Structure 1
């Protein structure tokens, strides 16, 4: 297998927008964002001012984008340090179980190690995603049960007042 892992560049926006559609379908989405809107959001997220995220791409021997790892740095982590947070790790089905995911994780670890003040690499996966959980266990990572994830979609309304309101 001949692959190359490299940072995303501005010329990759179109291919990344296509790959994100593939990822959405993989996770079961039935409504897919229009391509031009998705492409614009990829461009803004990775190459806007300031960029919101970074991405490593997996390129096959033909030059096609067949996987990615999207990440950001979060602060604070331990004390006043920061962490590299992996938001999405995806490898096309035809290349799974061939070492591509491991290569991406190693590359991410190297990025975290080289960045001054970065104390850790963190990520999460859905409890129902047994394939991902098995992959991480095979790499020797233990699951951490200390956090509960909350989510508020934008445009979903307002945050209500608690019964015992505290003034800000």
Structure 2
């Protein structure tokens, strides 16, 4: 595996990260969840997020996360992506571990995240990292919260102590 380099994202990274999402997820740009990652995350949460590049400067992975302003002991992982050729090689786990360490140092004692009920791969990954999954009803065979993010926007929640 090529050497990977970690750094804080910059606002100028926004367009290439958003551009990678449909490619990495294998879907048409209009169907990709890119709208969930507006530029403001690169403007206001860069100091708690991580961008990974290979030796050639190509985008390899990213984690966008932050410490909650309302719940200062809680951190939130908002969006994570790993290039298809690097998936299942520990890159995402490493990103999470780096984020956990950063948030622990900042006084956080818990990390939260969410996904959709259909995203079984994400649910398995989070379980393997020690997250507890939450919900209030069964949706598509998974415990999830009905209309968590609005009508029809059901979500599985994840929580993990640090």
**Shared fold, TM over 0.5:** yes
Compare CA radii of gyration and give the structure with the larger one. 1
What is the rounded CA distance, in whole Å, between the counterparts of 2:26 and 2:81 in structure 1?
11
**More strand by percentage:** 2
What is the RMSD of the two structures over their aligned residues, measured on CA atoms? 2.7
Aligned length: 134
Following superposition, which runs of at least 4 residues in structure 1 exceed 4 angstroms of deviation? none
Ranges in structure 2 where 5+ consecutive residues have no aligned partner? 137-143, 152-162
- SS of residue in 1 equivalent to 2:30: coil
Q: 2:115 aligns with which of 109, 121, 125?
A: 125
After TM superposition, give the deviation of residue 45 of structure 1 in Å.
3.9
Could you give the per-residue CA deviations for residues 109-168 of structure 1, whole angstroms, max 9, x where no partner exists?
A: 01110113x23111111111112112222223231226732238xxxxxxxxxxxxxxxx
Ranges in structure 1 where 5+ consecutive residues have no aligned partner? 153-168
Q: TM-score, normalising length from structure 1?
A: 0.67
After TM superposition, give the deviation of residue 30 of structure 1 in Å.
4.3
Please give the residue correspondences for 1:1-168 in structure 2 after superposition, counting only pairs within 5 Å. Answer: 1=1, 2-10=3-11, 13=12, 15-24=13-22, 26=25, 28-31=27-30, 42=39, 44-47=40-43, 51=44, 53-54=45-46, 55-77=49-71, 81-116=72-107, 118-145=108-135, 148=145, 149-151=148-150
